[in-house]
A and B are shown apart, each in its own frame.
Chain A
């Protein structure tokens, strides 16, 4: 990946709503070049989408859980087939193959505990190849996407210093 692409991605990851003009000014580039580079990365699938980081108060009717899943790898495809299949469920908002005691780490989202519980029992645990699951409901969010939810009290600096 080119340096300009990397620099743009770094800025977008910190603030997806930054203007292309500001990106150009920060990177000492031209806005047309930034427009074109972002468009190209979107077309190539390097940028998949843009999302908002929201506070817990903004999603009060939502329950999230982390589910550890142990699965039986298949000959030839390993974990991929089943992992992709599980990732297709709309309840699953993130899915990773991980090292360690279990194989897949899913983050799931539902409207209630019951909804997630029935997703686990009806859709997940009953799948061929799923050996076991462990579900951890998320109770409180402290940090997401590199942002701390409780803002530090800002300390006022002196207005003019040498």
Chain B
């Protein structure tokens, strides 16, 4: 007879082996303290624009509360397809090349599960969003991080990719504009990465959740470049551009075979995204442009201010091209990222996230979100200045 298992032993080995998000411990610590000003929040500080909330209420009032098709309400898919053509220069058929997901997080999970076999390798850049390596591991594939550097504006370099690519490489995963660095891709950057993907026959996953928060001249999605339409899946959503994080609503655009494979997983696990969130998303795409742009401008102005102040303090700060994060280098303080963040929290009650939460090459940096009120940003910057002065 088998020995009975302890609760711990019930856990699947590959899940037990997953590290918890580096942000988790820090979150617990910050939550236990009062009076903290947090630059650690990865979501907009704006409330969802009223017209979108009103459309949500209307959806409830009119009883739009049943399942939608697995791929998502066709009206929303049509709006997404139209929007992507106009804004990202990519054409995907709303009927079979678009799926509505519960956040880009679900979209990425579906996609990784849909395309990866055990042992396949996924190339991606670090620093990066916290879910990439765990998401890849959960499919029994192999995460292959490729370091990005401040001197290259945290843009993934083809020569560094060439060092890591192998015959088992299957996917190139990109997130620009980037969380946590704020890096962005120029058209030339996109061309080089596209060429590399074609040369090595890689599927490109482009997580473009911050695409609407762009502070450099916009260029079309990497998926719009020659030879990329079929080998690219674009992930985007409503959380950042329309301040709709709690709605959990996003989409994936890609060729029909891949979208169909994603849909298989989605239908057995999620069935469909929330109908009322889908109604809200339709409203956002139809009438959200002006408030979206207002929020983008506000982020851009905060970025200008915060970067200038960090540089004045002597903490060298890369000028972000997008998203709402700055990633100042703090090594001049003589502290590690973790020590800096922990001491800053205890001594000055300002929360920033250690760069190492986004990959080991984030050592020497911290991530500060400027998706918080200018008032709080000013106070936080003043306290950080005092903290640096005392070190």
Q: Give me the interface of A with B, judged by CB distance under 8 Å.
A: 22, 25-28, 152, 155, 157-162
Contacts and interface: CB of A to CB of B under 8 A. Distances in A.
B194 to A, nearest CB: 28
A148 B374 CA distance: 20
Nearest to B371: A157
B308 interface: yes
Contact of B31 (A25, A28, A152, A159): A159
5 contacts: A26-B301, A159-B31, A160-B30, A162-B131, A162-B179
Interface in B1-52: 21, 23, 26-27, 30-31, 36, 38, 40-43, 45, 47
Contact of B23 (A26, A28, A155, A162): A162
Given A25-B309, A152-B47, A159 B41 contact: yes
A26 B41 contact: no
Contacts of A160: 23, 26-27, 30-31, 38, 40-41, 351, 353
B129 interface: yes
A162 B130 contact: yes
Closest 9 pairs (CB-CB, A-B): A26-B301, A160-B40, A25-B305, A160-B27, A28-B304, A159-B30, A161-B42, A162-B130, A159-B38
B130 A25 contact: no
Contact of A162 (B36, B38, B42, B45): B42
B140 interface: no
Contacts of B130: 162
Contacts of A27: 301, 304
Given A25-B309, A152-B47, A161 B304 contact: no
Contacts of A152: 47
A157 B373 CA distance: 13
A152 B21 CA distance: 33
Contacts of A155: 47
Given A159-B30, A160-B30, 6 more contacts: A25-B305, A27-B304, A159-B41, A160-B31, A161-B40, A162-B23
B302 interface: yes
Nearest to B26: A160
A79 to B, nearest CB: 32
Given A25-B309, A28-B304, A162-B130, A157 B26 contact: no
A162 B103 CA distance: 14
Contacts of A25: 304-305, 308-309
A159 to B, nearest CB: 4
Contacts of A26: 301-302, 304-305
Contacts of A161: 23, 27, 40-43
Nearest to B130: A162
Interface string B63-79: 00000000000000000
Interface string B291-309: 0000000000110110011
A22 to B, nearest CB: 7
B304 A157 contact: no
Nearest to A21: B305
A61 to B, nearest CB: 32
A28 B357 CA distance: 30
B374 to A, nearest CB: 8
Contacts of A157: 41, 43, 45
B338 to A, nearest CB: 14
A27 B303 CA distance: 10
A11 to B, nearest CB: 8
A162 B24 CA distance: 9
B48 to A, nearest CB: 11
Contacts of A159: 27, 30-31, 36, 38, 40-41, 351
Nearest to B105: A162
B305 A162 contact: no
Interface in B93-115: none
Most buried by B among A152, A159, A160: A160
